Structure 1
Amino acid sequence: MMVWWGPADPAEAARRRGLPEGRPSRLKMAVPDADQMTITRHPVRLVPLSQALPALWELAVGNQSSDSLRAWRVATRITLSTRDPEQLRQLAEVMPPAAHPIVTDTDEVWTPESLLAAFVSAVHQVSAASSPTPRRLRESKNQLARNTAVVATLRPYQRHGVAWLRRVAEQHCGGILADDMGLGKTLQAIALLAERRPALPHLVVCPTSVLGNWARELHRFAPDLPVVRHHGPDRAIRIEDAGFTPGSVVITSYTLMLRDIDLLAQQDWDVVILDEAQQIKNHTSQTARAARALPAQVRLALTGTPVENRLSELWSIMDFANPGILGNHRRFSKRFSEPIEMRRDTRAAERLRNIVEPFLLRRMKSEVATDLPAKQESIVACTLTTEQAQLYRAAVKQAMDAGFGAGFERHGRILKLLTQLKQICNHPAQFLKQTQPLPQRSGKLTRATEMLAEALDEGSQSLVFTQYRAMGELLAEHLASELDLPRVPFLHGGVRQADRDRMVERFQTEGTPIMIVSLKAGGTGLNLTAATNVVHYDRWWNPAVEDQATDRAHRIGQDKPVDVYKLVTGGTLEERIADLLERKRSIAEAITGTGEEWISRMDDAQLRSLIVLSEDVVAE
């Protein structure tokens, strides 16, 4: 026997599927015999579980004994309160072994363990859909939080956000605050923490690069909230020594959350906040698993990009915030990811949007922050030097002559070639692992130097983003020499937190003319509104990541227009990929974008047309 679950009127839904109440139908089952498993069709009837679970109905198979029926009912009631695989396994051992249902569309035999896991997931979905929580959350998006506990004047859309966060907390569920970058997600989250008076501490998990920013923002907007930094070599290793007092805000990094999960999971938290929650977009990663293990009354995810590459990333973040609401990952892929990503199924996208919408709040700058200054984006074409062209042709020829192979080998070889070509477009010295000489060898470096010199003459401050630490170091040395600057700071992952904070502070308050920023280390969480020029020296080939970096300058607090320049080397894969980038945004925007992985799935002819150098683009 098994349980059938469905909408508010399951009996009517069952009748539409040919299973009228009280009359037998047939169900395809795998029945274990003494020597083998035979596939048969058994008569079944629909039995309401009115006393235990009114929203669920039972399919009683054949002439199962009353003892088996009672055993199944006990098991189903117990599983509602657990998602522990070991407990599900123990329950599966006492389930009636007479038959296992077969999923029609895949011919997969459901074992007792998989059936119980699916049942638990479905109960969570049914409970969420039938409760008043989604309606209340939708209503709260149109409400204004009139009084807040933060020392700040909130914009109207931010007060809408606080009202929604309050309702999420009142319902003891979770939510994703996915406002566009720079709209003040941190401030809205702090407003929620500041007004709660819990008997438990709060936990904020964020990238290392923004630990200092969270501490400063908490002190600025909620000075009465105690702040505990769980960071550094002197952090507590025992829960008794941690100082996680009621109402305090504990700040830690994703790295230390993973490393110290045994400690952090011992503590019951009031609100757990994941900042830059795309850090857990890979649901199989240890970081994502650790985040899901944190016990909390309320779970909030803050991210400007709930979907960067694939819909599975949205599933991972939402499963942290509201476990089970989107079902298990395999079922989610079949119902939503595959139809939407492979077939652009608009009905599947609409169904997913309806489920997610109450628990996700996303506002765009163009919609709510009309007082932000303009942002002008430009593609700047650069030419190759003769040296660059020779290196580029040689790298392409060597790779094409050797072939790309198949499977993982092909994937690795293509990504290696892409890296080589990007480095050559940046500067031959980066590709050849040289430090000198730098001038006149790269058309891109020459153009960037000219642009930054103009900005310097105008008295403007500039940010230069690169994804390569080696290129950042070359840029810092070259620009200081060419523009007669004492030094050009370079913020990257190897900079200590205290030095990073000082670097940002000097840029914001002392007028540092140019700062180079590693796209990975500084693409999220930083407030660099002193800049009015943003230069993307090399392309990440993921619009969401580049937008995050740009919005370090174009965000709340910026009072001047921001000019964004994306450098592209003409006639190379950089120029062709720039033309393709806009097409890669569609999947993410269908619900609320993609790195180099999609290029590795091209066949040889497509790849050749993408990478081969046009012969009319070399600088004389």
Structure 2
Amino acid sequence: MPTSHVQLQATFLPAEGAFAWWGPPDPATALAEAGLPVGRAAECRLARPVNGRITVLPTPVRLVDLDLALPALLATTAALSPAARAWRQAAQQPDADLPLPPAAHAVPNAEGTAISSPAALLRQFRQAARTRDALRVAEVRADLRPYQVTGVAWLRSVPGGGILADEMGLGKTLQAISLLATRPGPHLVVCPTSLVGNWRRELDRFAPGLAVRAHHGPRRTLAGLAAEVVVTSYGALRADADELAGTSWNTVIFDEAQQIKNPDSLAAKAATRLSARLRIALTGTPVENRLDDLWAILNVTRPGLLGTRGRFRQRFAAPIQQRRSVTAAQRLHALIDPHLLRRTKSEVATDLPPKLYTTVACTLTDEQIRLYRDAVDRAFTDGLGSGIERRGRVLALLTALKQVCNHPAQLLGQDGPLPGRSGKFDRASEMLAEIVEDGDRALVFTQYRAMGELLSRHLTETLGGPEIPFLHGGLTADRRDKLVQAFQHDEDAPPILLLSLRAAGFGLNLTRAGHVLHYDRWWNPAVEEQATDRAHRIGQHRVLTVHTLVTGGTVEEHIARMHETKRALADLVSGDSETALANLPDEDLHRVLDLNLEGIGR
């Protein structure tokens, strides 16, 4: 009589939300013998004791999702290994403190040097099982990925509040909606104005059983705030702070929580006054520029965790940012770890196609060279001054130089002519025409409204189709929403969408684009990544090509070099780049900004 199923070991994998069955040479046959679901073939690294030492080995396994595995495990009458029996007992006794044999918790730690803690793995297993049951009862209409179920389980168990900081595109909104659906209301969602409509649509789509009301717009009324979910904007939160603070919310969600990273802002102050049992911040960039951003957000979601602002700067911000202290960074990580969940696409969305980055070197025209040199010479001849005056003049110079790189017409406030005056402008036009000719679509980001309007007019004329739209902060939320919906779903929509970097840096799903083109550079690489991830998120099935235009020999090359440094120090956070430039002595600043045409063919 076959007995291979007795050798079947069962290890719970939190990242997969599944059991890994392993041990015998043919785990699938052994599972079938035991009357258990066969699952899918995979290979994972398991930490196992070999001759008294922990060894991490690639192991062929069969993965079976909890939804299928648990009912079958509870129902089978076949003899089971100690590891499988332990997991069955854990499901039968949801509150008992049970021992797990090594094979049951053979998940390696991050360094691959030890077996995971049995108590921690047991807790994660029970959280995942309870969350799946709760989602089923709440009738959440979505097929959540395993890491999303893990995220919802974490949100349901995080003590007091915290930050869901998953990388852009991993479905933070869906995880938050699933949380709300599994908790009694009333709930409050605070988001940027442009996302109020999106939240209402997503709530209706994934949790139609929830009563949703928008508290937004000039005609909003404070009556009836007891709806199950109230969606409001940061502007309305500021204006109606007293009334919104008067309701006892069960859960408050702060979407795009970088909006409250300034603790002195009215929005942040209004947020701290809200009464809630659970406060959750959603942001792909909990630290956008300085560690103070992290303190400010946690001060709203978990007040007191990091102490006062001054104490935080003394204990953590200064040692980490100024001295690159690894010890201080480790202390901070240990403190915030229970209150911050961060997953990247490379960790949990391995089926998402990669991003292919290309840097497109652009040359200056003679007109651009003259304007660039004139701007630098005039600034240093007139003098930059000191203090606040110096910072203002340096920022004005940087803006002028970036506009010269974009197009002389932008700097000079002209409507045209446009072709032949900017190497970058002509190169972008050629690239976009080729993308359209290939039948593909592109997103084009610029930080300047004037440049976006010039690009829109020129591309509309040269491509010969419908008007190329430009999504920017001056449009109504309804108009922005219609542009996004048309680009994403309308076959007759223009194949190019121009977007303001800041207005479109969050909350939009534009996976129909196969290309992203950054026309000009922002100082913070995280802001550009947010924009890129409008197209690189769940639903994208193709490699996304990200084109970054850089004008050789100019301030744009300095920004490009700075981006690489910032990415390398991302975990320790670098400071405000514009202020750092303003603080440079004149000689050093002139060396950074002066035009360097050596080696670029001019």
Is TM-score (shorter-chain normalized) higher than 0.5? yes
Residue 156 of structure 1 aligns to which amino acid in structure 2? P
1:189 is matched with which residue?
A: 176
Residue 252 of structure 2 aligns to which amino acid in structure 1? V
Tell me, in whole angstroms, the C-alpha distance in 2 between the residues paired with 1:586 and 1:261.
40
Matched, 1:286 2:286: no
Runs of 4+ residues over 6 Å off in structure 1? 135-138, 617-620
Q: Is the 8 A contact 2:452 2:500 kept in 1?
A: yes
Matches within 5 A, 1:273-422: 273-422=253-402
Query: How much does 1:288 deviate?
Result: 1.2
What whole-Å deviation, never above 9, does each CA across 1:287-335 have from its counterpart, x for those lacking one? 2111111111110000000001111110000111110110000000000
What whole-Å deviation, never above 9, does each CA across 1:58-115 have from its counterpart, x for those lacking one? xxxxxxxxxxxxxxxxxxxxxxxxxxxxxxxxxxxxxxxxxxxxxxxxxxxxxxxxxx
Query: How much does 1:369 deviate?
Result: 0.4
Query: How much does 1:602 deviate?
Result: 1.9
Instruction: Name the SS of the counterpart of 2:392 in structure 1.
Output: helix
Q: Is the 8 A contact 1:362 1:592 kept in 2?
A: no
Gaps of 5+ in 1: 1-134
Instruction: Name the SS of the counterpart of 2:132 in structure 1.
Output: coil
Matched, 1:484 2:469: no
Query: How much does 1:585 deviate?
Result: 3.3
What whole-Å deviation, never above 9, does each CA across 1:193-245 have from its counterpart, x for those lacking one? 011123xx211111112222111111110111111111111101xx4x2x222
Matches within 5 A, 1:427-446: 427-446=407-426
1:560 is matched with which residue?
A: 542
Tell me, in whole angstroms, the C-alpha distance in 1 between the residues paired with 2:598 and 2:461.
32
Instruction: Name the SS of the counterpart of 2:163 in structure 1.
Output: strand
Query: How much does 1:616 deviate?
Result: 4.3
Would the alpha carbon gap of residues 341 and 424 (structure 1) be closer, same or farther in structure 2, given more than 3 Å must change? same
| 257-266 or 346-355, which deviates more | 257-266
Tell me, in whole angstroms, the C-alpha distance in 2 between the residues paired with 1:616 and 1:355.
50
Tell me, in whole angstroms, the C-alpha distance in 2 between the residues paired with 1:497 and 1:425.
31
Tell me, in whole angstroms, the C-alpha distance in 1 between the residues paired with 2:208 and 2:149.
20
Would the alpha carbon gap of residues 298 and 197 (structure 1) be closer, same or farther in structure 2, given more than 3 Å must change? same
| 507-516 or 593-602, which deviates more | 593-602
Tell me, in whole angstroms, the C-alpha distance in 2 between the residues paired with 1:444 and 1:157.
41
Tell me, in whole angstroms, the C-alpha distance in 2 between the residues paired with 1:492 and 1:293.
32
Instruction: Name the SS of the counterpart of 1:522 in structure 2.
Output: coil
Query: How much does 1:605 deviate?
Result: 2.2
Tell me, in whole angstroms, the C-alpha distance in 1 between the residues paired with 2:600 and 2:368.
8
1:577 is matched with which residue?
A: 559
Q: Is the 8 A contact 1:508 1:530 kept in 2?
A: yes
One of 418, 438, 447 as aligned partner of 2:427: 447
Tell me, in whole angstroms, the C-alpha distance in 1 between the residues paired with 2:331 and 2:593.
39
1:207 is matched with which residue?
A: 192
Query: How much does 1:414 deviate?
Result: 0.6
Query: How much does 1:262 deviate?
Result: 2.0
Matched, 1:244 2:225: yes
Tell me, in whole angstroms, the C-alpha distance in 2 between the residues paired with 1:142 and 1:393.
65
Residue 147 of structure 2 aligns to which amino acid in structure 1? Y
TM-score by length of 1: 0.74
Q: Is the 8 A contact 1:377 1:564 kept in 2?
A: yes
Query: How much does 1:146 deviate?
Result: 2.3
What whole-Å deviation, never above 9, does each CA across 1:441-460 have from its counterpart, x for those lacking one? 11111010011011001111
1:65 is matched with which residue?
A: none
Tell me, in whole angstroms, the C-alpha distance in 1 between the residues paired with 2:334 and 2:170.
24
Matched, 1:146 2:132: yes
Instruction: Name the SS of the counterpart of 1:515 in structure 2.
Output: strand
Identity %: 57
Matches within 5 A, 1:509-524: 509-511=489-491, 512-524=494-506
Matched, 1:229 2:214: yes
What whole-Å deviation, never above 9, does each CA across 1:511-530 have from its counterpart, x for those lacking one? 43000000111010100011
Residue 153 of structure 2 aligns to which amino acid in structure 1? A
Query: How much does 1:510 deviate?
Result: 1.3
Gaps of 5+ in 2: 1-118
Residue 181 of structure 2 aligns to which amino acid in structure 1? A
| 187-196 or 603-612, which deviates more | 603-612
TM-score by length of 2: 0.76
Tell me, in whole angstroms, the C-alpha distance in 2 between the residues paired with 1:603 and 1:380.
31
Would the alpha carbon gap of residues 290 and 588 (structure 1) be closer, same or farther in structure 2, given more than 3 Å must change? farther
Query: How much does 1:272 deviate?
Result: 0.7
